[in-house]
Structure 1
Amino acid sequence: MARIPAAQRRQDFIRAAVEVIASHGIDGATTRRIAEQAEANLAMLHYCYDSKEDLFADVFEYVTGKYREVIEDSDPHTTLSETGQAILRGVMQCYVDSPSFTATTFELVNWARRQHGDRGIAVYDQALESLRKALQESADNSVAPPVIDEMAYVLATLADGFGVNWLTYGDASVAREQMDVNCAVLDAWLSSRTAAVPAKPTRRKRAAGV
């Protein structure tokens, strides 16, 4: 039998950890369970990772990477509204596609806050910063920076609320209807918010001799 490279084995263990954390929580995600889920022996897991903390660090990176993929896949050349909706739909679809990913994401953030203080906040901050950047690239000069910050918060709140609802009920048909509702809420908020904010004045060049 061909030997599986260590890098591939790490990916197997990361995906297995996502499933085990979703099913058993952080405390129940033992290395033995993760190895069994990955269909590998425990010695191989310890060969790839010095500790469970090291494995969880890679699971963190996997989770944040999924969010980055969704954000980066949005087209920065469309309108601000279209970009926001594409990102929101992308995150919600990611949740629907993998309930295990959804459950593990929330478990990891809570665990990081309990065990590592600001680390859970740092993960969330990184996602928000990537989100702000994508939104800013789609915004024209008339959209003030505070509106971009607020939109990132609204979008994240809608996505998080959707994730909790999806974990609670697990009804895919209802979830898809709620995706449409959330996108409509985001669009209505943005329309109202941008209408309430005066356009940023453009600076006119002074005529010679004036």
Structure 2
Amino acid sequence: MPRISVAQRRSDFINAAVEVIAIHGIEGATTRRIAEQAQANLAMLHYCYDSKEDLFADVFDFVAGRFREVLKDSDPHSDPVDTARQLLRGVMECYLESANFAAAALELISWARRQHGDRGISVYDQALETARAVLGGATSDHPVEPETIDQIAYVIAVLADGFALNWMTYGDRSAATEQMEIAVSVLDSWLAVRLGATPAAL
């Protein structure tokens, strides 16, 4: 059997921590549960990480990186309106793909705000900054003011987070798929007023 590298083990523990946090919350995310979820022994976890805090630091980086990845992958290199729609869809599809990721991300941000203040804010700030950068790079005959880009990023975040809470609460995939379209239509309506854009047909 090939030897598993420390880097791969760390990745396994990070993914396992996300699953455990989603199910048991931060307080219930013990190193033993995380090791079991990763199908590894506790000694290996402590070999890879000096403390649970070190592991959680990597989990925060993973969550922030996942948001950046989703937002960048959702960039259609199009006009601001289509870009905004795709960003919202991308984040909602990420949440729909894994309710546990959604639950863990929100749990981590809430916990960090209580315990470490800036740490929770930084995950959210990084996601918003990535959204702003993608929106700012969209092609347009009429440049969009930075203030408006900030507003679009905020509306996307509000709609995506509301969708995530509803999806986590009810777990109804069929309803969630329909609600994704509702969220996009709300964004379309707001964009139509703010930018004079034509709402996409549902």
Do these two structures clear the TM 0.5 threshold for a shared fold by scoring above it? Answer: yes
Residue 185 of structure 2 is aligned to residue 184 of structure 1: yes
Instruction: Give the letter aligned to residue 60 of structure 2.
Output: F
Give the corresponding residue for 1:166.
Answer: 167
Give the corresponding residue for 1:40.
Answer: 40
TM-score by length of 2: 0.93
- Aligned-partner Cα distance in 1 for 2:196–2:95: 32
Give the corresponding residue for 1:55.
Answer: 55
- Aligned-partner Cα distance in 2 for 1:149–1:139: 17
Shift of 1:139: 5.0
Give the corresponding residue for 2:200.
Answer: none
> Quick check: which has more Rg, 1 or 2?
1
- Aligned-partner Cα distance in 1 for 2:59–2:129: 20
CA contact (8 A) 2:75 2:87 kept: no
Q: Give matches, 1:42-191, under 5 Å.
A: 42-75=42-75, 77-140=77-140, 141-191=142-192
Runs of 4+ in structure 1 off by over 4 angstroms are none
TM-score by length of 1: 0.90
Q: Which runs of 5+ in 1 are unaligned?
A: 197-210
CA contact (8 A) 1:92 1:159 kept: yes
- Aligned-partner Cα distance in 2 for 1:3–1:124: 37
- Aligned-partner Cα distance in 2 for 1:3–1:62: 24
- Aligned-partner Cα distance in 2 for 1:139–1:78: 6
Q: CA RMSD, aligned part only? A: 1.3
Shift of 1:76: 5.1
- Aligned-partner Cα distance in 2 for 1:103–1:97: 12
Q: Which runs of 5+ in 2 are unaligned?
A: 198-202
Shift of 1:195: 3.4
CA contact (8 A) 2:112 2:120 kept: yes
| Aligned residue-pair number | 196
Shift of 1:3: 2.0
Instruction: Give the letter aligned to residue 181 of structure 1.
Output: I
Aligned residue for 2:107, secondary structure, equals helix
Residue 40 of structure 2 is aligned to residue 11 of structure 1: no
- Aligned-partner Cα distance in 1 for 2:85–2:161: 15
Aligned residue for 1:39, secondary structure, equals coil
Shift of 1:194: 1.6
